[in-house]
């Protein structure tokens, strides 16, 4: 029976939103579309925060609502807390524009990953 | 088609409140405005730091925002207080208010030879309006006359999963069942979801306009030379679990539902008088976006919040809804409607929508919102360029 307090919005998402406080070491069952996925929780994840429901590599697209919410900035194994320490945005990146790397182009990145 | 009890205006609009506002045209009139409103029962002050030494695009925006509030459907009459000769002209503003059939008065501190004389005049003018407003009665009006404002505030990850769905449900009920209008805003909070949003536009022209405005905001933010994170998402958003502006946006867009978008209008512009869902191009800054929608003429606003918020407006009642059970418990004074049972309990989103709709209709008929019971209101006009 999947944990109703771990919500994955769309089947292609790779993060779940915790609607309860989740503790490191728990084994949880997450419904990802029709699939029931068993995951070992790596970090404490507080109410409202997210955990990975699959193994992610540095640079991978983080998906929620079926869309990109940014990119992993390091390898993120399943069960790991996913937040500002390991994900970066593709928008409003004046820091990248200033470095001459070019910021996220809104129209281009929206349709992509 | 339902009915509500409202105040009919000469200009054809209908109010859900009957307020006397005292409006400042420049920072140097703010104190006199505040003092006038303190003395006169039911008078509401509208103050701001602008109206002087602004470039033209900002002058137009400041003027439009002040006029929009002073001629809001919920406003009976307005007293305008100016400091001296300003680029936002008090006499012109009072004349434009009078054109809508509302009582208006223009008072100039320099011309009155000082603050005490100006205060005397302003109090007299405001008292007369307040008393006349109190004598006006509500009458039954078609619910389709209403405009539903939508904004989020201190969003968290519960927002897009629960309360935003109820908000969308209630807004579309007004549009589809009653022929009303709704308006949401906060363009930078479309980042990451703009393609899908733009596809909902009723025309190719509107579709392209949405994409252009979103790209314009990204450009404006990149020109700062800094990463926007910290400003978007905000620290309280991040505390609530939101990681990037894209995640915040995809959740934020849930509050607009998935029906057609009629148009995207300028900041503080009048929301068009045709049934449907509209966008106002505003920043994500809540006080500024709510002020923009207030100027646009929304009768009330549902503020769909994750962590709770004091956000409110001088003339447009704000109904706060949350689906976060912790917030509902922590800030009951900011929770008009608690729909958390639809997120962590056994209730459905349809139930949550009904809860919200019922509260909205009571507020429309005159029930105070929690913000109103505490006399809260904020007013912040979005700026375009520099002061001069």
Question: Among all residues of chain B, which has the CA nearest to that of A83?
Answer: B243
Torsion on CA atoms B209, B210, B211, B214, rounded to nearest 10: 120
Q: What is the mean pLDDT of residues B206-232?
A: 91
Q: Which residues of A touch B218 (CB under 8 A)?
A: 91-92, 103-106
Asked if the model's pLDDT at residue B41 lies above 60, the reply is yes
Task: DSSP letter for A78, please.
Answer: T
Question: Among all residues of chain A, which has the CA nearest to that of B214?
Answer: A106
Task: Give, in order, the Cα–Cα distances in Å from B28 to each of B50, B86, B93, B388.
Answer: 10, 10, 17, 17
Give pLDDT, residue A1: 86
> Percent of chain B, pLDDT > 70?
100
Tell me the pLDDT tens digit for each residue of B154-199: 999 999 999 999 999 999 999 999 999 999 999 999 999 999 999 9
The reply to whether A99 touches chain B by the CB within 8 Å rule is: no
Give pLDDT, residue A107: 38
Hey, which bits of chain B come out as E strands? 3-8, 14-15, 19-24, 43-46, 75-82, 104-108, 139-142, 147-153, 181-184, 261-265, 276-280, 300-305, 318-322, 337-338
Give pLDDT, residue A95: 87
Chain CA centroid to CA B175, Å: 18
pLDDT band at A111 (very low <50, low <70, confident <90, very high): very low
Give pLDDT, residue B174: 98
Among 3.10.450.50, 1.20.1290.10, 2.30.130.110, 3.40.50.10800, name the CATH number for the domain at A6-111: 2.30.130.110
Least confident of B192-196, B230-234, B370-374, B384-388: B230-234
Least confident of B112-121, B135-144, B220-229, B339-348: B220-229
Asked if the model's pLDDT at residue B352 lies above 60, the reply is yes
Give pLDDT, residue B232: 84
The reply to whether A88 touches chain B by the CB within 8 Å rule is: yes
B355, two tokens: 């809860």
pLDDT band at A101 (very low <50, low <70, confident <90, very high): low
Chain CA centroid to CA B304, Å: 13
Give pLDDT, residue B69: 98
Chain CA centroid to CA B367, Å: 18
User: Which residue among A48, A89, A106 sits closest to B194, beta carbon to beta carbon?
Assistant: A106
The reply to whether B343 touches chain A by the CB within 8 Å rule is: yes
Chain CA centroid to CA B325, Å: 26
Rounded-to-integer distance, Cα B311 and Cα B125, Å: 29
pLDDT band at A6 (very low <50, low <70, confident <90, very high): very high
pLDDT band at B231 (very low <50, low <70, confident <90, very high): confident
Give pLDDT, residue B229: 80
User: Strands of B75-82's sheet, edge to edge?
Assistant: B43-46, B19-24, B75-82, B104-108
> Regarding beta strands B181-184 and B276-280, do their DSSP bridges make them parallel or antiparallel, or are they unpaired?
parallel
Tell me the pLDDT tens digit for each residue of B79-131: 999 999 889 999 999 999 999 999 999 999 999 999 999 999 999 999 999 99
The reply to whether A89 touches chain B by the CB within 8 Å rule is: yes
Rounded-to-integer distance, Cα B56 and Cα B37, Å: 30
Asked if the model's pLDDT at residue A110 lies above 60, the reply is no
Tell me the pLDDT tens digit for each residue of A43-77: 999 999 999 999 999 999 999 999 999 999 999 99
pLDDT band at A105 (very low <50, low <70, confident <90, very high): very low
User: Which residue among A62, A84, A95 sits closest to B238, beta carbon to beta carbon?
Assistant: A84
User: Helix, strand, or coil here: A60?
Assistant: coil
Q: Do residues B43 and B21 touch, judged by C-beta distance below 8 A?
A: yes
Task: Give, in order, the Cα–Cα distances in Å from B299 to each of B60, B143, B144, B259.
Answer: 23, 11, 12, 21
For A106, how many CA atoms within 13 A lie in the half-sphere containing its CB? 27
Query: What number is the ipTM of this complex?
Result: 0.89
Which residues face B75 on adjacent strands? B19
* Three-class secondary structure assignment of B80-136: EEECCCCCCCHHHHHHHHHCCCCCEEEEECCCCCCHHHHHHHHHHHHHHHHHHHHHC
> Looking at CA atoms only, how far is residue A82 from chain B in angstroms?
8
Maximum Cα interatomic distance, chain B, rounded to a whole number of Å: 65
The reply to whether A65 touches chain B by the CB within 8 Å rule is: yes
End-to-end CA distance of chain A: 31
User: Which residue among B224, B241, B245 sits closest to A50, beta carbon to beta carbon?
Assistant: B241
Q: Which residues of A touch B221 (CB under 8 A)?
A: 91-92, 94
User: Helix, strand, or coil here: B153?
Assistant: strand
Q: Indicate the domain borders of chain A.
A: 6-111
Question: Among all residues of chain A, which has the CA nearest to that of B224?
Answer: A94
Q: Which residues of A touch B244 (CB under 8 A)?
A: 69-70, 84, 87-91
Residue among A24, A54, A55 nearest A42 (CA):
A24
Give pLDDT, residue B86: 86
Tell me the pLDDT tens digit for each residue of A15-50: 999 999 999 999 999 999 999 999 999 999 999 999
**Inter-chain residue contact A89 with B251, CB threshold 8 Å:** no
Give pLDDT, residue B137: 98
The reply to whether B245 touches chain A by the CB within 8 Å rule is: yes
Q: What is the mean pLDDT of residues B214-223?
A: 92
Q: Do residues B26 and B118 touch, judged by C-beta distance below 8 A?
A: no
Question: Among all residues of chain A, which has the CA nearest to that of B225?
Answer: A94
Rounded-to-integer distance, Cα B296 and Cα B263, Å: 13
**Inter-chain residue contact B251 with A65, CB threshold 8 Å:** yes
> Percent of chain B, pLDDT > 90?
95
Please tell me chain A's helix, strand, coil percentages from 3-state DSSP, rounded to the nearest 5: 10, 35, 55
Rounded-to-integer distance, Cα B186 and Cα B289, Å: 6
Task: DSSP letter for A22, please.
Answer: B
> Looking at CA atoms only, how far is residue B170 from chain A in angstroms?
22
For tokens 């029931």, the residue is A36
User: Which residue among B225, B245, B247 sits closest to A64, beta carbon to beta carbon?
Assistant: B247
Asked if the model's pLDDT at residue B383 lies above 80, the reply is yes
Q: Indicate the domain borders of chain B.
A: 19-135, 143-373
User: Helix, strand, or coil here: B264?
Assistant: strand
Contacts across the A-B interface (CB distance below 8 Å) = 136
User: Which residue among B157, B228, B246 sits closest to A48, beta carbon to beta carbon?
Assistant: B157
Which residues face A76 on adjacent strands? A56
For tokens 């900011």, the residue is B334
Give pLDDT, residue B43: 97
The reply to whether B225 touches chain A by the CB within 8 Å rule is: yes
What's the fold here for domain B19-135? Rossmann fold (3.40.50)
The reply to whether B258 touches chain A by the CB within 8 Å rule is: no
Least confident of A21-35, B88-102, B228-242, B277-291: B228-242
Give pLDDT, residue A99: 75
């Amino acid at each position: 029976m999947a944990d109703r307090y771990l919500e994955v919005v769309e089947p292609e998402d790779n993060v779940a939103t915790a609607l309860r406080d989740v503790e490191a070491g728990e084994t949880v069952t997450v419904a990802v579309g029709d699939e029931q996925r068993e995951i070992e929780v790596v970090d404490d994840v507080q109410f409202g925060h997210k955990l990975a429901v699959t193994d992610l590599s540095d640079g991978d697209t983080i998906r929620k609502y079926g869309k990109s919410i940014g990119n992993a900035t390091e390898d993120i194994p399943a069960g790991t807390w996913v937040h500002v320490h390991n994900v970066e945005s593709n928008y409003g990146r004046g820091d990248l524009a200033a470095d001459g790397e070019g910021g996220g182009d809104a129209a281009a990145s929206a349709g992509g990953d | 088609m339902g009915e509500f009890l409202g105040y009919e205006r000469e200009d054809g609009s209908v109010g859900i409140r009957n307020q006397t506002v005292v409006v400042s045209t420049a920072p140097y009139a703010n104190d006199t405005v505040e003092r006038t409103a303190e003395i006169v029962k039911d008078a509401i002050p509208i103050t701001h730091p602008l109206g002087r030494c602004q470039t033209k695009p900002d002058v137009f925006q400041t003027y439009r925002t002040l006029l929009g509030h002073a001629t809001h459907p919920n406003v009976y009459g307005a007293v305008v207080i100016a400091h001296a000769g300003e680029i936002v002209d008090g006499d012109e503003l009072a004349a434009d208010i009078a054109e809508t059939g509302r009582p208006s008065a223009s008072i100039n501190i320099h011309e009155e030879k000082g603050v005490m004389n100006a205060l005397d005049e302003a109090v007299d003018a405001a008292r007369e309006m307040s008393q006349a407003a109190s004598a006006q009665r509500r009458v039954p009006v078609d619910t389709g006359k209403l405009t539903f404002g939508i904004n989020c505030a201190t969003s968290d990850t519960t927002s897009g999963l629960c309360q935003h769905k109820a908000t969308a449900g209630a807004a579309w009920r007004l549009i589809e069942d009653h022929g009303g209008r709704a308006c949401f805003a906060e363009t930078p909070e479309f980042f990451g979801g703009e393609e899908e949003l733009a596809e909902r536009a009723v025309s190719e022209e509107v579709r392209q306009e949405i994409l252009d405005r979103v790209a314009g905001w990204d450009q404006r933010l990149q020109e700062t030379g800094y990463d926007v994170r910290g400003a978007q998402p905000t620290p309280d958003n991040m505390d609530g679990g939101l990681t990037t502006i894209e995640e915040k946006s995809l959740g934020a867009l849930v509050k607009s539902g998935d029906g057609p978008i009629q148009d995207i209008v300028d900041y503080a512009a009048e929301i068009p008088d045709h049934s449907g869902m509209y966008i106002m191009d505003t920043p994500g800054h809540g006080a500024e976006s709510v002020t923009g929608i207030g100027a646009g003429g929304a009768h009330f606003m549902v503020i769909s919040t994750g962590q709770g918020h004091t956000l409110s407006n001088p003339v447009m009642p704000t109904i706060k809804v949350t689906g976060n059970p912790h917030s509902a418990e922590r800030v009951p004074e900011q929770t008009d409607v608690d729909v958390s049972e639809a997120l962590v309990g056994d209730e459905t989103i349809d139930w949550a929508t009904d809860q919200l709709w019922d509260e909205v209709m009571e507020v429309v008929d005159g029930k105070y919102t929690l913000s109103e019971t505490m006399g809260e209101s904020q007013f912040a006009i979005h700026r375009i360029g520099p002061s001069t």
